[in-house]
């Protein structure tokens, strides 16, 4: 699963990059330690244009009586996305893009402690996760919520963790958002090793209160 990521791209830059109309209020950036249940930047397709909006990272099924009425759904498995009752409608109708600089994952060597890694794009530009979203409303309270789609990891990533977020290239954004007809399911595959860079980072990231650019700096131990 992916449980933390970093995002430093300015909101204005996201508006231009994704050609999206921004909401009036958006999450603060930079954020080097984006945690579940916080609001994150999300791009989705509105009636006739893309929108950049804040959404709670933690998908809430419609039948939850409260946001904490069941498991915290920050990730959705690509292999069962179209079948799970919580996700199948969003999979068809409400797909979104989640921009980031990269994400953190933890590897536990045999007999050792968990070691955090930062995984980022090998080239220029942001990392963009495939996501799904849904509005949840109960007793006058309304939340826009989302989850990140993950798939089975391959190559070097599999040595760190067995799952990886589905990463979308710029040429895939329109298809995932449903702007180019069908075929989004073909995008739910693991990124190849040559598309990614990996490095160890400080265990300071273990705390959800940790902040600052030093969290993504490479360490050698």
pLDDT for residue 204: 96
For 134-175, write each residue's pLDDT tens digit. Answer: 999 998 899 999 999 999 999 999 999 999 999 999 999 999
For 40-87, write each residue's pLDDT tens digit. Answer: 999 999 888 999 999 999 999 999 999 999 999 999 999 999 999 999
pLDDT for residue 97: 98
Answer yes or no: is pLDDT of 126 > 90. Answer: yes
2 is annotated as an active-site residue: yes
For 175-221, write each residue's pLDDT tens digit. Answer: 999 998 888 999 999 999 999 999 999 999 999 999 999 999 999 86
105 is annotated as an active-site residue: yes
Task: Pick the catalytic residue from 35, 91, 96, 105.
Answer: 105
Task: Pick the catalytic residue from 2, 91, 96, 146.
Answer: 2
Nearest to 103 by CA among 125, 116, 118: 118
CATH number assigned to the domain covering 4-215: 3.90.1680.10
Rounded average pLDDT over 122-142: 95
Percentage of residues in the chain having pLDDT higher than 70:
99
Stated pTM of the model? 0.96
């Amino acid at each position: 699963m992916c449980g933390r990521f970093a995002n430093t791209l300015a909101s204005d830059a996201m508006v231009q990059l994704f050609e999206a109309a921004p909401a009036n209020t958006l999450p603060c950036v930079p954020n080097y330690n984006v945690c579940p249940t916080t609001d994150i930047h999300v791009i989705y397709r509105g009636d006739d244009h893309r929108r950049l909006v804040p959404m709670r990272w933690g998908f809430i099924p419609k039948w939850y009586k409260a946001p904490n009425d069941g498991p915290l759904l920050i990730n959705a498995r690509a292999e069962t996305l179209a079948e799970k009752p919580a996700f199948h409608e969003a999979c068809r109708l409400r797909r979104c893009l989640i921009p980031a600089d990269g994400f953190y994952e933890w590897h536990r060597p045999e007999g050792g402690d968990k070691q955090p890694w930062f995984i980022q794009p090998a080239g220029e530009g942001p990392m963009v996760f495939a996501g799904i979203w849904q509005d949840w409303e109960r007793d006058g309270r309304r939340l826009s919520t989302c989850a990140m789609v993950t798939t089975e990891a391959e190559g070097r990533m599999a040595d760190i963790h067995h799952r990886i977020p589905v990463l979308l290239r710029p040429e895939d954004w329109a298809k995932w958002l449903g702007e180019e007809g069908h075929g989004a399911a073909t995008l739910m595959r693991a990124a190849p090793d040559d598309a990614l860079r990996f490095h160890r980072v400080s265990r300071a990231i273990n705390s959800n209160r940790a902040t600052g650019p030093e969290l993504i700096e490479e360490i050698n131990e």
